[in-house]
Amino acid sequence: MTFAAQNHELDHNENFSPDDVWLVYDTRPNPAGIQLNAKIEKVNVTTGETQVLYNFSSPSPYGPGVGAASYHPFLNQIVFLHGLEDHNAANPYAAHRRTGIIIDEANPEKHVYMDSRDVRKPYSPGALRGGTHRHQWSADGNWIGFTYNDAVMVDLEAKTGNKHDLRTVGVSKRLGPKVLVPQDGSAEQIQGEWFSAVLVRVVPNPSPGSDQISRAYEDWWIGKEGYRRPDGTWQRARAFMGDLIAADGSPITEVFVVDVPDAIDVPGEWGPLEGTDVELPAPPAGALVRRITRTEDRKYPGVSTVPRHWLSSSFDGAFISYLAKDERGVVQVYLVSPLGGEPIQATNQPDPVQTMVRWHPHERLFSYVCDNSLFLARVDEFGVVSEPVRITERTEETPFAHCWSRSGDQIAFNRYVNQGKESFIQIFVAENVE
């Protein structure tokens, strides 16, 4: 779909427009180079026409950095991360210095900040203090999930030498209470439009054998409506990876679920929503965290963190997908219910699975990359997984960042293409994939 001598990074997001006509992407110079990127673009999947949606007018080598764009599920709006505008050598783009920005294609020059940022005491409930990224719309468009790093904790770690800069996950609510951030004339204080809260409490030194989490990350919405409780009701929730310490003292990563309460403005048991000088913002009441997998006794315990991947979920919330090593030490796809229970090994590939799992928007059909090819597999009502089907030929360069269209008829993905003396990330589309 793309041919220009620049990168076109999909970045594991919801890249298709609501009508499946466009794909949104960023143009970072390399996968880790968001700091140097100033543009968000889109490409027409029929004509190949490209358009610039956002272009920061005065970038520098220190930022601000923009990227990781996702389309709203049914409006022509796009959310993406944006570094702070007061970027310089002393304060460059960083994980704790970025927010979410929303633009409407009808007026892309006018943007709004999703999350408020308040790093001046006293801090404000509903505002955060640092860096949100990996912004993901909920199916109804009223929530955005994100991964979070806190600027106040970064400063505290620098002052004390103790570990305080801990990654966690949170959400922003469109219809939450109004947040008012005191302004001081700097770009550090940001007035956002949505109410935000951290969902998961993290600690620097988890007790061995406990369910205490030191890092919460690689998160995803569960289902379009959440997951179904045993009583038949639905619960909005996020799945995430959590790092903890096994009973033998070894680090391990497991699958967790956090319930997202309707009201995220009610403080919970761990402290104020806005945080303190020595504590991260605390989760709201009702943000119940449950450990879903317990894999210490497996030959290769834990979720595989190589390749890097995100958890994902079937459209109906019945399954969370993740990667882990089988008994041979080969990375495979595994499925587990948000209610817990024994995980299902969903693939038995001779070669390691190379990417995260992406799900069809309204069928229990999932895709992944293995042997430098896209594969599909289907899950029936009993949780039985079909034999995988290879849908693209093996290529020298590995496909990555694949994404289903809203209709489920297409899958877009990235692949490096050699162009002269350089290689660029281009976008490809597989059609009629069902």
Question: Which tokens in the block code for residue 181?
Answer: 């951030």
Geometric angle at alpha carbon 309, from 304 and 313, rounded to 5°: 100
What pLDDT, on the 0 to 100 scale, is given for residue 177? Answer: 95
What pLDDT, on the 0 to 100 scale, is given for residue 434? Answer: 67
Q: In what order do the strands lie in the sheet with 331-336?
A: 312-313, 320-325, 331-336, 344-345
Exposed, middle or buried, 111 (CB in 10 Å: 0-12/13-18/19+)? middle
Q: Which of the 8 DSSP states describes residue 432?
A: S
Q: For residues 190 and 183, what is the distance between their CA atoms, to the nearest angstrom? A: 8
Task: Name every residue whose Cβ is closer than 8 Å to that of residue 302 and which is 6 or more positions away in sequence.
Answer: 252, 253, 254, 295, 324
Prior bond of 64 cis (ω within 30°):
yes
Mean pLDDT of 331-337: 98
- Polymer length in residues for the chain: 434
Distance, C-alpha 132 to centroid of its chain? 10
HSE toward the beta carbon, residue 389, CA cutoff 13 A: 10
Q: For residues 202 and 206, what is the distance between their CA atoms, to the nearest angstrom? A: 9
Q: How far is CA 83 from CA 9, 23, 202, 320, in A?
A: 17, 22, 24, 31
Confidence of residue 154 (pLDDT cuts 50, 70, 90): very high
Check whether 282 has a pLDDT greater than 80: yes
Q: For residues 70 and 137, what is the distance between their CA atoms, to the nearest angstrom? A: 8
Three-state secondary-structure class, residue 131: strand
Q: For residues 337 and 313, what is the distance between their CA atoms, to the nearest angstrom? A: 10
Question: By the 8 A CB rule, do 201 and 242 touch?
Answer: no
Question: By the 8 A CB rule, do 318 and 339 touch?
Answer: no
Tens of pLDDT, residues 189-223: 999 999 999 999 999 999 999 999 999 999 999 99
What pLDDT, on the 0 to 100 scale, is given for residue 247? Answer: 97
Prior bond of 122 cis (ω within 30°):
yes
Question: Which tokens in the block code for residue 109?
Answer: 């020059």
Q: For residues 362 and 167, what is the distance between their CA atoms, to the nearest angstrom? A: 32
Q: For residues 60 and 89, what is the distance between their CA atoms, to the nearest angstrom? A: 10
Geometric angle at alpha carbon 175, from 40 and 289, rounded to 5°: 90
**Count of C-beta atoms within a 10 Å radius of residue 134:** 22
For the stretch 284-287, contacts whose Cβ atoms lie closer than 8 Å and that sit 24 or more positions apart, written own/partner, are 284/197, 284/199, 285/261, 286/259, 286/261, 286/262, 287/197, 287/199, 287/200, 287/258, 287/259, 287/260, 287/261
Check whether 33 has a pLDDT greater than 70: yes
Q: For residues 311 and 154, what is the distance between their CA atoms, to the nearest angstrom? A: 26
Q: For residues 404 and 73, what is the distance between their CA atoms, to the nearest angstrom? A: 12
Residue with tokens 């951030």: 181
What pLDDT, on the 0 to 100 scale, is given for residue 384? Answer: 94
Tens of pLDDT, residues 293-319: 999 999 999 999 999 999 999 999 999
What pLDDT, on the 0 to 100 scale, is given for residue 382? Answer: 84
Percent above pLDDT 90 for the chain? 95
Check whether 5 has a pLDDT greater than 70: yes
Tens of pLDDT, residues 66-116: 999 999 999 999 999 999 999 999 999 999 999 999 999 999 889 999 999
Amino acid at the residue 67:
G
Tens of pLDDT, residues 224-255: 999 999 999 999 999 999 999 999 999 999 99
| Mean predicted lDDT score pLDDT of the chain | 97
Alpha-carbon dihedral 151, 153, 157, 163, rounded to 10 degrees: -130
Three-state secondary-structure class, residue 135: strand
What pLDDT, on the 0 to 100 scale, is given for residue 188? Answer: 95
Check whether 11 has a pLDDT greater than 90: yes
